[in-house]
Amino acid sequence: MAKNQPASTLEKLRNIGVIAHIDAGKTTVTEKMLYYSQFVHKVGMVDAGTTVTDYDPEERERGITINAACVTFDWNGYVINLIDTPGHVDFTAEVERSLRILDGGVVVFSAREGVEAQSETVWRQADKYHVPRIAFINKMDREGADFYSVVDDIESRLNAKPVVVAIPVGAGPPHLPGAFRGTIDLIEMKQLTFDSKSQGQEFTVEEIEESMQEQAALYREKLLDDLTLFSDEMTEILLSGEDPPVELIRKVLRNATLSDMCVPVFCGSALDGVGVQPVMDGVCYYLPAPNDLPPIEGVDPNNPEKKESRKSSENEPFCALIFKIETHAHGDMFFLRVYSGKLNANSRVYNPREKQKENVPQIWRIQADHKSLVDSVSAGDICGVIGLRFSVTGDTLCDVKNPILLESITFPDTVVSMAIEPESSEEHKKLKAALESMRRQDPTFQASINEETGQTLVSGMGELHLEIVKHRLLRDYKLNVRVREPRVSYRETIQNVAEVWGGGARTLAGVKHFAEINLKIEPIEDVNQPVVLLNTNDEEFLPEYQQIVLDALQEEAQGGGLLGFPLICAKLTILGGRFVVNETDEVALRFAVADAYHKALEEAKIVLYEPIMRQEIQTPDEYVGDVVGDINQRRGIVVQTHNRGQFTVVEAQTPLANLFGYSSTLLSLTKGRASCSMELAKYGPAPDEVLREFTLM
């Protein structure tokens, strides 16, 4: 995406993402950044569907971000590659893959709602990939805005070290006394007042007003005290009674931020154009350049025990990761993060997972939905390429002579599914191709087709996810299909330990087959995939038999439990077997494994697990009783309630099966004044009546 970056200017490149809970203002922050950098000459509005990064028709209709979008702009001599990510939990995969390849993040919080459920999720994702970040507390112009409460939330709920570098002057909308009217830069100790006529593009830097001097001095002292934790030089200067220079403050703060030891905190109102430019400066001051980070690590694909690494330098062998795929009329567009070396158009690269060489005929610079051809990209760049045949999301592309395999991207499991039925055999073929295309784009979308009945089951991360899948099939792919209501994706596990023998003698087409397998099954905790082991010293259990049995048992376990749902929290151990020369072959062994597997599940007794969602409902006090009562009727458990400004926050854990259509019910209960977010908390045992429904089917 960025212009070709020679090694000498890598320090002027920033690859960042804007991440947050839904409706915290990410896209508005992004739009203002593009306006102030003169990337656009008119500010787009989310509600009007005119923003640069929300270019998909679904995004513009709904006023939310669904797909992570890339844009590049210049700011004060720096090149910033920015990815605007979704905030809705159903599209958390977009955040996951963006954070996997980004160097830094701007986390946006609402000054009224504070740290919300999805805020915690994206924060954990950033922690997972060790992404340094700065925080922007947005919507200071909203009624109930409380900057200092949100700072406390960041520390207590996210277990982070917030370092306040800007404080608000006032809070709330213009019609209230003490309304929000600017910010104070605690590093330079100046007050910034933003001009509303220029939408915040023009601002004045002046002395701090008298009413704010005491508060500013207090937080300036706290800022310097916080920085002494990270610098002996800072401590010595303060002990000598001197005022540390601005350059030293920024240097210490930058080093601490890059080491994940603190999070610089800014404030403002993106909608009103207040406080966004200091955040853009903060990106340049405190977030890393590609060469500030440790070399990317991987393994030698020919020897997985051997570690490999690549520095962020054009002089290293080429290495990149595919983090996203978009389908276009002229072919799939593969989004790459280049970690090292240089990639030229019309060159060949190597995919170590597939052990295949790939041609790269074209390289594109991506600007949201606009693209332009470039001749080459180098270390630190984010770009798009077309023409790849074998690669998928999470794959590594590297130099043919110097292969390296990077860690892939992991995505959460799906929790809901729905059936789709094509109206004709012709539609069936089109549906199959459309679903394959969508699956390549979205790794959290799964689809399976019953070739006999023609019924297709598609699975996703939530109701909204599946609703958008349905709309795309009908609108974009113009398919004539019937769609059934979403249903929950359950899991199966076992209750007891069981040991069984399976198999025996069979005669097929006049040929005798014999094998028996001794299998033990037992429950284990916190394992999302069945664990398959072999534990036998039987000399008759030949190595070739062992491999067949292990492969067959792995296939059975991957196929799910007795009800067809994925099997979790179970360990399967092969203890031995009985075999007859000339009668034991692969057919007999596979039959014995399948028989033992099903006998073991029946004897161990299946337990059905259902997804339990963590809900965070923010409601006016007068509706708390109605909200809690409704949760109880849905088999939910209220974990806690607490106040956040003028609202009460109800935290609950509720089975997903009882939450379909919940948003509409909540709006009705509270006359449209409450909001709710949810994410998967855990899987828990489903009631016996739910299990009986499936066993009677």
pLDDT tens string 102-122: 999 999 999 988 888 778 888
* Residue 245 to residues 188, 227, 251, 266, Cα–Cα distance (Å): 9, 13, 10, 20
SS3 of 267, please? strand
The predicted structure's pLDDT at residue 259: 94
Token output for 292 = 């500030």
Cα distance between residue 66 and residue 553, in whole Å: 39
Which of 24-28, 186-190, 497-501 is least confident?
24-28
- Whether the Cβ atoms of residue 194 and residue 187 lie closer than 8 Å to each other: no
Token output for 230 = 């990270």
Contacts of 337 (CB under 8 A, 6+ apart): 15, 101, 320, 321, 323, 381, 382
pLDDT at 549 > cutoff 50: yes
The closest of 307, 286, 284 to 297, measured between CA atoms, is 307
Q: Which tens digit of pLDDT belongs to each residue from 144-181?
A: 899 999 999 999 989 999 999 999 999 988 888 889 99
- The whole-number average pLDDT for the span 479-488 is 81
Cα distance between residue 504 and residue 588, in whole Å: 8
pLDDT at 644 > cutoff 80: no
The closest of 279, 264, 269 to 194, measured between CA atoms, is 269
**Helices 543-558 & 586-604 angle (0-180, nearest 10):** 50
Cα distance between residue 109 and residue 18, in whole Å: 11
Burial class, 268, CB count within 10 angstroms (exposed 0-12 / middle 13-18 / buried 19+): buried
The predicted structure's pLDDT at residue 8: 41
Q: Where does 532-585 have alpha helices with state H? A: 543-558
Residue 263's pLDDT band, with cuts at 50, 70 and 90, is very high
The predicted structure's pLDDT at residue 3: 43
pLDDT at 30 > cutoff 70: yes
H or E element, residue 666: helix 662-669
Please provide residue 41's backbone torsions phi and psi, each rounded to the nearest 5 degrees: -110, 5
Beta strands in 524-596, from DSSP E residues, in sequence order: 531-534, 570-579
Burial class, 47, CB count within 10 angstroms (exposed 0-12 / middle 13-18 / buried 19+): exposed
- The distance from CA 73 to its chain's CA centroid, rounded to whole angstroms, is 24
The predicted structure's pLDDT at residue 62: 61
pLDDT at 4 > cutoff 50: no
Which of 15-29, 248-262, 449-463, 561-575 is least confident?
449-463
Q: How many Cα atoms occupy the beta-carbon half-sphere of 226 within 13 Å?
A: 24
The share of the chain scoring above pLDDT 90, in percent, equals 49
The predicted structure's pLDDT at residue 693: 79
Token output for 309 = 């690494």
pLDDT at 461 > cutoff 60: yes
Contacts of 412 (CB under 8 A, 6+ apart): 92, 93, 96, 444, 461, 680
H or E element, residue 371: strand 370-374
- CB-based burial, 588-623: b 16+ in 10 Å, e otherwise: bbbbbbbbbbebbbeebebbbbbbbbbbbbbbeeeb
Token output for 581 = 């020369």
Token output for 493 = 């596990």
SS3 of 657, please? helix
* Residue 126 to residues 130, 158, 681, Cα–Cα distance (Å): 6, 11, 18
Length of the chain: 697
pLDDT at 56 > cutoff 80: no
More confident of the two residues 276 and 647: 276
133-138 vs 104-110, strand pairing mode? parallel
The mean pLDDT of the chain is 87
Q: Which tens digit of pLDDT belongs to each residue from 583-602?
A: 999 999 999 999 999 999 99
Burial class, 667, CB count within 10 angstroms (exposed 0-12 / middle 13-18 / buried 19+): middle
Which of 91-100, 426-435, 450-459, 513-522 is least confident?
450-459
Write down the pTM of the prediction: 0.77
More confident of the two residues 292 and 42: 292
The predicted structure's pLDDT at residue 677: 78
- The distance from CA 231 to its chain's CA centroid, rounded to whole angstroms, is 34
Q: Residue 407 carries which DSSP code?
A: -
**Helices 624-633 & 662-669 angle (0-180, nearest 10):** 150
Cα distance between residue 165 and residue 290, in whole Å: 24
- Whether the Cβ atoms of residue 650 and residue 628 lie closer than 8 Å to each other: yes
H or E element, residue 74: strand 69-75
Token output for 60 = 């513009």
Residue 88's pLDDT band, with cuts at 50, 70 and 90, is low
pLDDT at 58 > cutoff 70: no
The predicted structure's pLDDT at residue 161: 95
- Whether the Cβ atoms of residue 571 and residue 494 lie closer than 8 Å to each other: no
Cα distance between residue 652 and residue 636, in whole Å: 7
Count CB neighbours of 450 within 10 A. 10
SS3 of 235, please? helix
Q: Which tens digit of pLDDT belongs to each residue from 376-391?
A: 999 999 998 988 988 8
Cα distance between residue 375 and residue 243, in whole Å: 50
More confident of the two residues 41 and 508: 508
The predicted structure's pLDDT at residue 274: 94
Read off the amino acid at residue 84. Answer: D
H or E element, residue 270: none
CA end-to-end distance (rounded Å), the chain: 53
pLDDT at 87 > cutoff 80: no
Cα distance between residue 471 and residue 273, in whole Å: 35
- Whether the Cβ atoms of residue 293 and residue 312 lie closer than 8 Å to each other: yes
Token output for 620 = 């006016």
Which of 39-53, 111-125, 371-385, 429-443 is least confident?
39-53
pLDDT at 53 > cutoff 60: no
pLDDT at 291 > cutoff 60: yes
- Whether the Cβ atoms of residue 131 and residue 102 lie closer than 8 Å to each other: yes
* Residue entry with tokens 């609108």: 475
The predicted structure's pLDDT at residue 608: 92
Residue 400's pLDDT band, with cuts at 50, 70 and 90, is very high
pLDDT at 5 > cutoff 50: no
SS3 of 609, please? strand
pLDDT at 452 > cutoff 70: no
Name the CA dihedral angle for 623, 627, 629, 631, rounded to a multiple of 10 degrees. Answer: -170
Which of 75-79, 191-195, 561-565 is least confident?
561-565
Cα distance between residue 135 and residue 112, in whole Å: 15
DSSP for 140-200, written as a single string = TTSTT--HHHHHHHHHHHH---EEE-EEEES-S-TTSTT---EEEETTTTEEEEE-TTTTT
* Residue entry with tokens 């979704």: 86
The closest of 594, 190, 191, 173 to 182, measured between CA atoms, is 191
